[in-house]
Amino acid sequence: MRILKLNALAITFALGGVWDTIAGFIYIFAIGTNRMISQPEVDPFYSIFLGSFFLCFAYLQILSSFNIKRYIFNVGCLIFGRFFYVVLLYGFMIFKKDFPTTFWFTGIIDGSFLIAYVIIALRSGFSVRDLFLPKLQ
């Protein structure tokens, strides 16, 4: 049963990587270079820079998913990152006057991955310590 739960976590983590790949290309090509999305207004450099980080996260997630038990700490790192992003995004959309709501859907998608990571990891038998403190070998 634990193997099925580990597979579910690995698949969810890989899908998070696929989503980050899509987000990386959106930031690099739609927001950064082609300027198809101009709200929020930002210099193209920052969009391309952010897109490159999305691609790094995608690589990390997809490759970690092949041995999720060994790389469970990476799941914890992405939990922190997605939590920070979702809180920051919705905080700005709610409290900053005239902040564009262009990316509300990314908050929903990233929030869904965040919740899935936590629930599936804990149900797979990993502890909070496993997620956020690496084991010394």
Residue 29 DSSP code: I
47 located within any domain? yes
Number of domains making up the chain: 1
Secondary-structure percent of the chain, ordered helix, strand, coil, rounded to 5: 75, 0, 25
| Secondary structure (DSSP) of 12-80 | HHHHHHHHHHHHHHIIIIIIIIS-S--SS---HHHHHHHHHHHHHHHHHHHHHGGGTTTTHHHHHHHHH
Position 102 in a domain: yes
Label residue 72 by pLDDT band (50, 70, 90): very high
Assess if residue 98 is contained within a domain. Answer: yes
The domain in which residue 36 lies consists of 2-132
User: What beta strand segments (E) does 6-79 contain?
Assistant: none
**Is the separation of the CB atoms in 89 and 107 below 8 Å?**
yes
Residues in Cβ contact with 109 at an 8 Å cutoff, skipping those fewer than 6 apart: 19
Buried/exposed 17-31: b ≥16 CB within 10 Å, e otherwise = bebbbebbbbbbeeb
- Give the model confidence (pLDDT) of 107-123 as tens digits: 999 999 999 999 999 99
Q: What confidence tier does 40 reach under pLDDT thresholds 50, 70, 90?
A: low
Mean pLDDT of 52-58: 94
pTM: 0.85
Residue 137 belongs to some domain of the structure: no
pLDDT of 32 higher than 80: no
Closest listed residue to residue 78, CA positions, set 93, 99, 57: 57
Asked whether residue 97 is domain-assigned, the answer is yes
